[in-house]
């Protein structure tokens, strides 16, 4: 059924929203009544939820409407807006239908069916006194119907414009089905690849992370909140979640204050400055204070230092879990601590609903505090146009399919995220005239594992194109393609997300079945001219509740790879994964290695494009790649300390291994070559607060067109604190034809040269000498220097 709404009921809601109407308001309402006659294009049934052709409200109008509505609300109705109701069947307690009818539920999450969204919305709008619509939220992480590469992969594109485009597609598709709020982007800095949720972020670097945060917020929200076809974004998980002890998801983080300000907070601040509508508080303890009850994060940083005007939602059940932490003595205390710390909305735990009324009656929480939490939630609903257009056009939602343009963008995105790690003797690109090719590995024909994790909802159509299918599509005639999966891989401990999705584990292979699969794969290698081994991790091996103690290739994949190389046939390793893995042996013995990440729905076609030269890989690593798990956490921006391991006399801090990364941050090869012949500074001295220009020449010295990411790094030689050996402060991805040369310009000013001083306890730009490097990765050699003077 397509639920619409009458013009009369919408006019009634308009009056209730605005309070006692003036004569102009009456005339405006009558005009609305006339224009929105049933069946006309302006009717609610013909308008997607939250979309409006009207110009956006001014800030003053939004606040006036929110204040007018709040003046009519009871305490219970206000607290109802601070409750997010879970729509999943696994949740115990009242059903969302029962709560919404009582005015409880400012938001509903985990519902993606347009018919159910309309049904629940009708309850909230039609059966309550003030007819306040519900905000429906969902984890739209790397696509909705059109599935793009996972966020870590998108960061490897070093292309913020591409990231913005992809999230705009996701927003358009989600909003068409009534999802007006996504719990993304995740902007946690992650420097420990054991942490499963590294796949959801932009890697280790705050500058790159900030660029990706801005791009995602713009993509999701559009030019302004309420832009047609866009949704509210939510920066998560605030903050320090990616620094969990041992890389163990949900475990405590211990981060010094200067690292918080200089490393972990900048991507969040970038999201805030880009206008992100909401923040999500994290699960873990930060320096022994849970993030969802942490006044330093939610008050001192977010509200006071940054003047954030949106609202904060907890992570799922995080408010009640303050008791589990040993932080709150009981659920009532948990509600008090979370709310007074700055969490406006309780995600799915029901703790606010149960205990905020009593806390107000006791005088421990004031009515003014409740109003301050409710106001930004109502303001976002007003900006989205939900009061005018609360319902989904179900006919339009049913027609929302992956358009040819979106599919093409997904393929292009996958191509631009791939990182060529090794290419000895130019094995790649492969010739399309190859007579026979073996495609082996447990991920070669695994559609779900090509899409990647965090697709619990939304993607209801055909699964991803696998690498095997992509190669078959590319070599549609002539070549013999032999496929063998090899031994299976699986998690030792199942994922609770698999359980929620109702996936039953398949019976494990017997030892005999595993050996036969191994032998069949090696036989295919021997029978072919070249082999593509597609190895890595299943999708459920990365993401939430998917941390690892080891970075080894799961199962017998390493043995399979070694046996394939031992045949003497050329082998190309294609990795599908959401974190750096231990490929130290492969880096010395496999002639070609392509990091494809989880490339999304067009992944197989994109891999084939790169393997056979129809696309030239230009992605760069957004993380440092360790040699072994013993090195982690690993990152390039470390301090020089007593004996820099870059000195020839001190090659490593380990006696049994090099302490340098296997592949440095920003690394990635191409089918062509680039040179960086010149770096020029506009001046050798710059006054504090002023800016200087850095010009970098780059030339394609090879024979094919390609992309290079020009990267700029700095180092402050002295100051009130030791500064990292190198810090990324600029990048630009450019395309160059063979022989073409371009000059790329970067600006260095106060934003790039300042840092939070642990001694001065404030942001400082110090009068010191700075090194500058430019090149293809974090080990760039092209060097210059300048001084900042008072």
106 phi, psi to nearest 5 deg: -70, -25
CA angle 11, 13, 17 (to 5 degrees): 120
Cβ atoms of 670 and 632 closer than 8 Å: no
CB 602 within 8 A of CB 137: no
Residue 657, CA distances (Å) to 129, 135, 620, 633, 636 in order: 69, 53, 25, 16, 17
**Centroid of chain to Cα 363:** 40
Residue with tokens 């504090």: 688
The answer to whether residue 315 is catalytic is yes
Contact 602, 410 (CB under 8 A): yes
d(CA 43, CA 10): 10
Is 171 in contact with 222 (CB distance < 8 Å)? Answer: yes
Q: Both tokens of residue 662? A: 């296997």
For residues 425-454, one letter each, b for 16 or more C-beta atoms within 10 angstroms of the residue's C-beta and e for the rest, the string is eeebbbeeebeebbbbbbbbbbbbbbbbbb
The vertex-748 CA angle with 742 and 754, nearest 5°, equals: 155
Nearest to 315, CA basis, from 544, 538, 158, 515: 544
Q: List 731's β-bridge partners, or say none.
A: 711
CB 583 within 8 A of CB 573: yes
Cβ neighbours, 10 Å, residue 373: 23
Query: What CA–CA distances, in Å, run from 164 to 213, 272, 413, 547?
Result: 10, 16, 11, 28
Crossing angle for the helix pair 603-611 and 404-417, to the nearest 10 degrees: 50
As a whole number of angstroms, the distance between CA 478 and CA 148 comes to 31
Catalytic-role residue among 159, 205, 285, 315: 315
DSSP state of 246: G
For residue 762, give the H/E element and its range: strand 762-764
Backbone torsions φ then ψ of 693, nearest 5 degrees: -105, 135
Q: Angle at Cα 646 formed by Cα 644 and Cα 648, nearest 5°?
A: 105
Q: How far apart are CA 652 and CA 587, in angstroms?
A: 19
Is the distance from CB of 622 to CB of 204 less than 8 angstroms?
A: yes
- Please name which of 114, 107, 108, 113 lies closest in space to residue 48, comparing C-alpha atoms: 114
Compute the half-sphere exposure of residue 343: CA atoms within 13 Å on the CB side of its CA.
35
Residues near 644 by beta carbon (within 8 Å), at least 6 away in sequence: 650, 725
Helix-strand-coil split of the chain, %, nearest 5: 35, 20, 45
Q: 655: burial class by Cβ within 10 Å (0-12, 13-18, 19+)?
A: exposed
Question: Do 271 and 262 touch, CB atoms closer than 8 A?
Answer: no
- Do residues 725 and 639 touch, judged by C-beta distance below 8 A? yes
Q: At what angle do helices 160-176 and 206-221 cross, to 10 degrees?
A: 40
To 5 degrees, how large is the angle CA 121–CA 127–CA 129?
115
- Rounded distance, CA 539 to CA 524, Å? 26
Q: What are phi and psi of 571, to 5 degrees?
A: -125, 135
Tokens linked to 597: 């990440």
Per DSSP, 428 falls in state: P
Question: Could you say which DSSP state residue 424 is in?
Answer: G
* Catalytic residue list: 315
């Amino acid at each position: 059924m397509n639920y619409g709404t009458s013009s009369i009921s919408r006019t009634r809601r308009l009056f209730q929203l605005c309070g006692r109407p003036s004569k102009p308001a009456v005339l405006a309402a009558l005009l609305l009544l006339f224009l929105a006659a049933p069946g006309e294009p302006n009717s609610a049934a013909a308008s997607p939820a939250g979309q409006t052709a009207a110009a956006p409200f001014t800030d003053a109008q939004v606040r006036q409407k929110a204040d007018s509505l709040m003046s009519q609300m009871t305490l219970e109705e206000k607290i109802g807006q601070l409750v997010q109701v879970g729509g999943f069947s696994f949740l115990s307690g009242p059903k969302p239908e029962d709560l919404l009818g009582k005015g409880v539920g400012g938001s509903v999450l985990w519902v993606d069916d347009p018919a159910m969204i309309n049904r629940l919305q009708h309850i909230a709008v039609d059966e309550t006194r003030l007819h306040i619509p519900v905000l429906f939220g969902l984890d739209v992480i790397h696509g909705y119907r059109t599935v793009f590469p996972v966020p870590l992969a998108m960061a490897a594109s070093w292309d913020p414009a591409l990231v913005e485009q992809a999230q705009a597609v996701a927003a358009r598709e989600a909003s068409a089905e009534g999802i007006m709020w996504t719990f993304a982007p995740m902007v946690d800095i992650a420097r420990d690849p054991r942490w499963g949720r590294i796949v959801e972020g932009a890697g280790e670097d705050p500058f790159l992370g900030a660029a990706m945060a801005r791009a995602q917020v713009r993509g999701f929200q559009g030019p302004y909140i309420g832009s047609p076809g866009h949704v509210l974004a939510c920066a998560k998980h605030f903050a320090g979640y990616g620094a969990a002890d041992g890389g163990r998801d949900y475990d405590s983080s211990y981060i010094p204050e200067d690292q918080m300000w200089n490393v972990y907070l900048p991507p969040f601040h970038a999201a805030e400055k880009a206008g992100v509508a909401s923040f999500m508080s994290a699960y873990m303890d930060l320096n022994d204070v849970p993030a969802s009850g942490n006044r330093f994060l939610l008050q001192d940083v977010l509200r006071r230092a940054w003047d954030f005007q949106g609202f904060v939602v907890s992570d799922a059940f995080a408010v009640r879990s303050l008791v589990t932490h040993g932080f709150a003595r009981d659920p009532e205390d948990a509600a008090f601590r979370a709310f007074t710390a700055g969490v406006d909305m309780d995600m799915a735990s029901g703790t606010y609903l149960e205990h905020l009324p009593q806390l107000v009656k006791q005088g421990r929480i004031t009515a003014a505090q409740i109003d301050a939490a409710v106001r930004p939630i109502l303001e976002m609903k007003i900006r989205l146009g939900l009061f005018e257009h609360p319902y989904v056009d179900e006919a339009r939602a049913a027609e929302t399919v992956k358009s040819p343009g979106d599919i093409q963008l997904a393929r292009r995105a996958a191509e631009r995220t791939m990182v060529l790690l090794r290419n000895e003797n130019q094995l790649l690109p492969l010739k399309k005239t190859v007579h026979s090719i073996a495609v082996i590995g447990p991920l070669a024909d695994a559609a779900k594992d090509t899409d990647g994790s965090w697709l619990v909802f939304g993607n209801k159509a055909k699964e991803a194109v696998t690498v095997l299918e992509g190669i078959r599509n590319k070599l549609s005639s002539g070549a013999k393609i032999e496929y063998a999966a090899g031994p299976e891989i699986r998690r030792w401990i199942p994922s609770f997300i698999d359980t929620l999705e109702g996936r039953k584990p398949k019976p494990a292979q017997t030892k005999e079945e595993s050996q036969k699969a191994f032998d069949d794969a090696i036989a295919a290698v021997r029978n072919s001219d070249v082999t593509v081994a597609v190895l890595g991790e299943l999708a459920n091996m990365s993401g939430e509740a998917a941390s690892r103690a080891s970075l080894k290739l799961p199962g017998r994949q390493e043995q399979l790879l070694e046996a394939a190389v031992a045949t003497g046939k050329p082998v190309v390793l294609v990795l599908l994964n959401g974190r750096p893995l231990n490929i130290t042996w492969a880096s010395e013995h496999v002639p070609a290695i392509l990091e494809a990440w989880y490339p999304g729905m067009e992944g197989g076609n994109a891999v084939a494009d790169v393997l056979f030269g129809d696309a030239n890989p230009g992605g760069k690593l957004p993380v440092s790649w360790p040699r072994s798990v013993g090195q982690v956490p690993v990152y390039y921006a470390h301090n020089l300390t007593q004996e820099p391991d870059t000195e020839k006399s001190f090659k490593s801090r380990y006696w049994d291994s090099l302490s340098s990364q296997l592949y440095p941050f920003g690394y990635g090869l191409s089918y062509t070559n680039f040179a960086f012949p010149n770096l020029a500074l506009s001046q050798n001295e710059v006054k504090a607060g002023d800016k200087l220009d850095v010009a970098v020449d780059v030339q394609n010295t090879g024979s094919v067109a390609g992309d290079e990411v020009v990267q700029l790094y700095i180092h402050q030689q002295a100051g009130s604190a030791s500064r990292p050996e190198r810090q990324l402060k600029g990048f630009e991805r450019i395309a160059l034809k063979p022989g073409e040369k371009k000059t790329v310009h970067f600006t260095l000013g106060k934003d790039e040269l300042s840092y939070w001083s642990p001694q001065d306890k404030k942001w400082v730009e110090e009068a010191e000498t700075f090194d500058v490097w430019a090149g293809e990765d974090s080990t760039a050699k092209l060097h210059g220097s300048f001084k900042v003077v008072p």
